[in-house]
Amino acid sequence: MTDPPYGRHEYTEAQQAKLRSGRGGVWRIPPSFDGHPRAPLPRFTTMTKADLDHIREFFTTWATALYPALVPGAHVMIAANPLVSPYIAMGLGEAGLERRGEIVRAVMTMRGGDRPKNAHEEFTDVSVMARSQWEPWLLYRRPIECKTVADNLRKYKTGGLRRISGQQPFGDLILSHPTRKSERAIADHPSLKPQSFLRTIVRASLPLGEGVVLDPFAGSGSTLAAAENLGYESIGLERDPQYYKLAKTAIPKLAVLETSVGPAQRRQAE
Ligand SMILES: C[S@@+](CC[C@H](N)C(=O)[O-])C[C@H]1O[C@@H](n2cnc3c(N)ncnc32)[C@H](O)[C@@H]1O
């Protein structure tokens, strides 16, 4: 379960130094439409064909390294964005992981929707790109080893997804919201994901509620906090010493935050 870096640059030391100093680099502050300051976002529209091929190669290498750490039937859920997700998906497929669908996190973002630069008044009715209102999460699985999912569940406790309830299966459309201020105050990471969404997908990832959740790009530890909240065991890896330090203080606080599992799911069920 992870939210990886997609580009060559955005989490390199040089780009992080630029982000932290607020000057230059791939991180941009989106325009404010209501007077409230926006959190910085990396720009993916400037990626070249070579950058995109690099993403595919990176994810082939990464998923090949990940494969032996997964038990047969273990699910892999990866945050993406619509511009790079096909390249990530190709990499995962090349490493032997099996595509099981895509989760749509419905969320209003500040990406896209703008009129052509320096020609706003000339082209008042035009947006250069669609305003992005969803985030794809790629859903993959290490192929099951047993003949049936039931046998795989008995042997490895994996192969399926945990249902929301007896009546409601886990669904691939999850109504979400931008990460709340209360969470940002605890974990000041530019890619912080909200607990309500993470708790929903982390819960689904272990069909019997047993096993270990791995986040190899843990950032502020939000996935690990969601696992902690659910009583799941988890392991995280983070390269940046500042984010690692942040995660150590943020995980226990995010884990106890009152954002119950699946408020989004309840809305969907109503
Ligand atoms: C998109 S962020 C994840 C943020 C996370 N979703 C959160 O809510 O805090 C990706 C993270 O991966 C880390 N990272 C980049 N390359 C890495 C590597 N090779 N090994 C471990 N972590 C890495 C970055 O420092 C960054 O914190």
Q: How confident is the model at residue 34, as a pLDDT?
A: 56
Centroid of ligand 1 to alpha carbon of 238 (angstroms): 6
**Ligand 1 neighbour 220 (Cβ under 6 A):** yes
How many angstroms is it from 155 CA to the middle of ligand 1?
32
CA 217 to ligand 1 centroid distance, Å: 4
The DSSP bridge partners found for residue 134 are: 106
Which DSSP string corresponds to 9-47? STTSHHHHHHHHHT-SSSEEPPPPSSSPPPPPEE--TT-
**For tokens 């580009």, what's the residue?**
7
- Ligand 1 atom 4: the closest Cα is on which residue? 219
Does residue 42 line the site of ligand 1, with CB under 6 A? no
Residue with tokens 């459309």: 173
For ligand 1, atom 12, the nearest C-alpha belongs to 217
Asked if 1 and 213 touch (Cβ cutoff 8 Å), the reply is yes
219 lines ligand 1 (CB under 6 A): yes
What is residue 139's predicted lDDT score, i.e. its pLDDT? 98
Can you tell me which atom of ligand 1 is nearest the CA of 191? 4
Mutate to test the pocket of ligand 1, among 11, 77, 254 (most ligand atoms within 8 A of CB): 11
> Which residue out of 27, 84, 186, 217 has the highest number of ligand 1 atoms within 8 Å of its CB and is therefore the one to mutate?
217
Phi, psi of 108 (to 5 degrees): -75, 120
Cβ of 239 less than 6 Å from ligand 1: yes
Q: How far apart are CA 139 and CA 76, in angstroms?
A: 6
Which pLDDT does position 39 carry in this prediction?
67
Give the pLDDT confidence score for residue 36 in this predicted structure.
60
Q: Give residue 221 CA to ligand 1 midpoint distance, Å.
A: 9
Alpha-carbon distance of 25 to 56, in angstroms, equals 23
Atom of ligand 1 nearest to the CA of 221: 9
> Residue 38: what pLDDT?
63
In the chain, the domains with their CATH numbers are 13-269 (3.40.50.150)
Q: Which residues of the chain are modeled with pLDDT < 50?
A: 263-270
Q: Dump pLDDT digits (tens) for 137-155.
A: 999 999 999 999 999 999 9
> pLDDT tens, 58-99?
999 999 999 999 999 999 999 999 989 999 999 999 999 999
| Alpha-helix residue ranges (DSSP H) falling in the chain | 13-21, 49-66, 85-94, 149-156, 181-186, 195-205, 222-230, 241-255, 263-269
Q: In the block, which residue shows the tokens 């991180």?
A: 27
pLDDT tens digits, one per residue of 101-113? 999 999 988 788 9
